[in-house]
Amino acid sequence: MSRAHTTDDLPLVVGLDGTLIHSDMLFESLLAFLRTRLLQWWRLPLWLCGGMTLFRHKLSQAVHVDPAGLPYDRVLLAQIITQRARGRLIVMATGAPRCVAERVASHLQLFDRVLASEGSFHMNESDTADQLVLAYGEKGFDYVGNGRLALPLWLSCRTAYCVVHTAFELADGRATLPMGSPRGGLAGALLRAMRPRQWLKNLLVFVPMLSAHVLTLPTLLASMLAFVVFSLCASSAYLLNDALDAHEDRKHPSKRKRPIAAGTLPLAAALKSSALLALGGLALAAAVDAWLLLAAAVYFLGTLAYSLYLKRLLMVDIVVLAMLYTIRLLGGAASTHIRASFWLLAFSFFIFLSLALLKRHSELINMQRAGEDKRGGRGYLVNDSGPIGILGVNSGLLSVLIFMLYFNTPNVVALYGNPTLLLAIVPLLMFWLGRLWLLSYRGEVNEDPVLYLTRDPISLTLLGACLLVAALASI
């Protein structure tokens, strides 16, 4: 399709990766492959051995990324629509495979022409500039890009536009002009995507030290190091999980605001940061203690397996979540060389199993209210909320029973001067679990229950009361 234009209304050429979309089609395709064809992962290194051009081509043939779910620059789209309404020729120019670019262009219905890589030929920025000059002449088009790689195109165009609103100085004395929505602030987006609030869960590494009453400076420092290790590994897993879930998160009313889903944190930066955080956490664990390294490695591999596959399996995801909480306790025990008792591990597994079930139950209740039957990437239907609730309440009751049985062990007599006082924790624990589950049935627990308690005054009061009882019992 062609449209008439004059020398005063030159074609507007727009890049795709990092410009039209807040993402990169190579990484979108790679993550789509891992989501849908994980068991064929062995193909990836074989394709990569043939070079990046072959790798891009094979990925584009193996998976079809839904263009409707991409994070478009809505400001830039509105500007393109305005320019096209004035009769201006709009061209997409990208190094992505043609089939990928054509799907995006077909979805948007805004482009009169698409320049893209063909088969074994990868079109880089210099090749694109040559083709555009051949078609429209030197300085015969305007170009919208996103960084230094666009320099050959900016030098060949009439007006250079950049979605990064910090101007680039060109060799011919010109400077880029802003267009589209502002980009930048990667540090802030990365910090949000790392979810530092979730690090509160890693306070579990201090439990072995506290439960054994070994309150010394060396054990405190060892527990703090374990906290840092698990926080680094957890943030690595959150980045990877959000990258894999970005296509689904973009459809979610609240999750679409997450940095990766929204495009404020590019997929490439997220994946690189995830790898660096994991390596940093495991290296620190190795420098501290071999057993801590083992616990951290099991935790990280567990979260990796959860993100890639296990979270899609019915009930498996819930059991894995409960185990990941318990592994944090083992990490704290490993770093301090304090043996975690059977009772502590049994109690932690069942109470965190109850909380994991509560998390799924709350999601199902909210899905039911939204009129959804099933959410992509999960193995649950809204009708499963009943059985999930029964299992969750029973798991909570089991944890309380285990806590009561713990009172009859010799270890309690040795550690506590007044162990009978610990019985006061039982009604507090029952009240807390019962209230949480009732709120879940009402659809009022809208986030991870472990994090919910940090914002709930009643939960915080109950936690403080339990700590006070434990302190009085130890006197």
> What are the tokens at 272?
């690189």
Residue 374 has pLDDT above 70, yes or no: no
- Rounded CA-CA distance 362/162 in Å is 44
Pairing status of strand 90-97 against strand 142-145: unpaired
Report yes or no: 16 and 25 within 8 Å, Cβ to Cβ.
Answer: yes
Closest CA to 239 of 268, 280, 201: 268
More confident position, 149 or 275: 275
Taking only the tens place, the pLDDT of each residue in 149-172 is 899 999 999 999 999 878 888 888
The predicted pLDDT at position 1 comes to 38
- What is residue 161's predicted lDDT score, i.e. its pLDDT? 94
- Asked whether residue 236 carries a pLDDT value surpassing 50, the answer given is yes
Helix axes 186-193, 267-288, angle to 10 degrees: 60
Return the pLDDT at 8: 53
pLDDT in tens, 6-36: 445 799 999 999 899 998 999 999 999 988 8
Cα(361)–Cα(359) distance, integer angstroms: 5
DSSP run (H or E) holding 160: strand 160-162
- Give tens-digit pLDDT for 438-448: 999 988 887 77
Q: What does pTM read for this prediction? A: 0.84
**pLDDT, average across residues 177-195:** 87
List alpha helices for 337-454, DSSP H: 342-369, 385-406, 410-415, 425-441, 449-452
- DSSP-derived secondary structure letter, 112: S
Query: For residue range 325-353, what is the model confidence (pLDDT) as tens digits?
Result: 999 999 999 999 998 888 889 999 999 99
pLDDT of the residue at 3: 43
Q: Are strands 90-97 and 12-15 parallel, antiparallel or unpaired?
A: parallel
Give bridge partners of residue 113 from the DSSP assignment.
91
User: pLDDT of 70-123, one tens digit each?
Assistant: 999 999 999 999 999 999 999 999 999 999 999 999 999 999 999 998 877 788
